[in-house]
Structure 1
Amino acid sequence: MRAVRIGKLDKRIEIGDVEEVRQENGRYEEEFVSYHKCWARVHPLSGSEKFAAQQIESELTHRVEIRYFPGIRPQQVIKYGSRTFEIEAVIDLDEQHREMHLDCVEVGDG
């Protein structure tokens, strides 16, 4: 069983959903609704990781590693500082409920 490398989880992220919320003026606007805040390792995919990932998803740009947390799913959003990532794949590493890899696409102009 692999131990979670806590020291490498050095970035504070927030995971949530983008939902349409009705404003006072009656219009609907998209807002980020937080689901979970945690420490993570955020890193761009290397050439070989990106090549392997592109066999499934053509735009993957980053992998986010976190401790296991139930309920995280594709199409949720990660906020990291001014940057935004859409989760494309959620991997429960070794199915041990200890560590998760979130394969993501960076969106927007950061």
Structure 2
Amino acid sequence: MSVTSIGALRQRVTLEAPIDTADDSGSMTRSYASVAQIWAKLTPAAGEARFVAEREEQAITVVALIRWRADVTSRMRLVVGARTLLIHSVYDPDGRRRFLLCRCEEIEM
């Protein structure tokens, strides 16, 4: 895959990490905290409609190209305005620690 230049990263996104805390009943509650504001190139890759828990939802696969960071994991998410992109996989496309490709999923209900 050909990786583009740094100038192609034109969308400002927020990288968020999960924080799991125990509530009073002992079950875990997940919230997210902002880690950094970063530049990204977001490219829609696929879309599908599916039924989950007897309701239809739209799932859009988005590939996010960002600058290489050591702390990005598949437990994190990207937030772009009102859109939330759950990161499913993170990889360095050329092994040179210049960029990361994040395969993300946006769910619309």
The TM-score with structure 1 as length reference comes to: 0.70
Q: Indicate whether 1:37 and 2:28 are aligned.
A: no
| Matched residue count | 96
Corresponding residue SS for 2:94: helix
Structure 1 spans left out of the alignment, 5+ residues:
48-58
Partner of 2:90: 90
Which amino acid is 2:84 matched to? Answer: T
- 1:17 Cα deviation (Å)? 1.7
Partner of 2:6: 6
Corresponding residue SS for 1:94: coil
Distance 1:71 1:30 in 2: 19
Residues 1-110 of structure 1: matches in 2 within 5 Å?
Answer: 4-20=4-20, 30-45=30-45, 61-109=61-109
Structure having the larger proportion of residues in helix: 1
* Identity value in percent: 23
- 1:16 Cα deviation (Å)? 1.3
- 1:60 Cα deviation (Å)? 6.4
Structure 2 spans left out of the alignment, 5+ residues:
48-58
- 1:65 Cα deviation (Å)? 0.2
**Preserved contact between residue 60 and residue 107 of structure 2 (Cα < 8 Å):** no
Which amino acid is 2:78 matched to? Answer: I
1:70–1:4 Cα change, 3 Å: farther
Distance 1:71 1:96 in 2: 16
